[in-house]
Amino acid sequence: MTTTRRTSVRLTQFAHGGGCACKIPPGELEDVLGALSAPLPATAGTPLLVGLATGDDAAVIALPTRGDTPAQAVVSTADFFTPVVDDPYDWGRIAAANALSDVYAMGGRPVLAVNLLAWPRDVLPFELAREVLRGGLQVATEAGCHVGGGHSVDDPEPKYGMAVTGLADPARLLRNDTGRPGMPLSLTKPLGLGVLNNRHKATGERFEQAVATMTALNRDASAAALAAGATCATDITGFGLLGHLHKLARASRVTAVIDTAGVPYLDGAREAVRDGYVSGGTRRNLEWVAPFTDFGTTDADTRVLLADAQTSGGLLVAGEVPGAPVIGELVPGGPHTLVLR
């Protein structure tokens, strides 16, 4: 469903990009981060279980056990971005759900978040910032996660998100490097958020199905994946399905085969691609994965949608998740990390 909502301030017009489409391109980011991994000595006492090496969704350390205390791991992440919608309350909700998603993508539960806010204080009224923060608090409360303050800066461009700390069972993590041949691939939210958000920014049309998808927590999907015995997952955000799946397949040393006919899309997504509402971030995603992908006979619009920069997208799980469509499988590694059929 699409509606047009008139607002006195259109937040998306104050941003050069929108949501996770404003991420630094994945290839450029990997060039920057490539030499920055510096593990602590074993005497540090808190082993790093997941770090920079595989480009996973969050960092994870193991807490030392004492006596009968069950083993626990701490999951740490941060995520923030420019306005993806004009409504400040919805933007806050979306940004919080997106930040919390990284913890769910690792198989954890978020327990504490702090706000990250950049605000053009001489341009936009603080009443709007309050609504953004209220939206973030509402979603964190829904997740059972405390919000304990945060940090703010005066910035020409509005940005909002959260740094989130979660807890997980170190023996039951969801990682992007544990995929094995024969595992099916399940996707828990439809694609198309990026192109619908880009259309919203350009026209002011409001896509209720996109807002509902972006504000939905990945909590239940994460729990269902763990209950099904899954060990491998990632969430689909700014690098698109193809980008995040490429990282998973590369880290797991397998090839991912996608059944393009099985991939779900939001209503209006194909029309948005047809009408040209494709972000630069999405095009950069497609350019990045192209050398690693056998596109087969997949048409150009479908390629764009598979690379579409999602904001607060679903989980991609190596395994079957009840209620989620299976969109492909992992097979032994070949000349490409991605194959489209």
114-140 pLDDT, tens digit per residue, is 999 999 999 999 999 999 999 999 999
- Is the four-CA dihedral 220, 221, 227, 233 of positive or negative sign? negative
Nearest CA to 97 out of 190, 1, 162 is that of 162
**pLDDT tens string 281-294:** 999 999 999 999 99
What end-to-end distance do the CA atoms of the chain give, in Å? 30
Cα gap 115→96, rounded to integer Å: 9
Average pLDDT over residues 149-153: 94
- Which residues does the annotation mark as catalytic? 20
Contact 294, 336 (CB under 8 A): yes
Hey, what amino acid is at 78?
Answer: A
Q: Is the pTM of this model over 0.75?
A: yes
- φ and ψ at 151, to 5 degrees? -145, 145
Reply yes or no on whether the pLDDT at 148 is more than 50.
yes
Hey, what amino acid is at 230?
Answer: A
Cα gap 159→178, rounded to integer Å: 34
Cα gap 261→284, rounded to integer Å: 23
**pLDDT tens string 31-55:** 666 656 555 555 556 788 888 777 8
pLDDT value of residue 35: 57
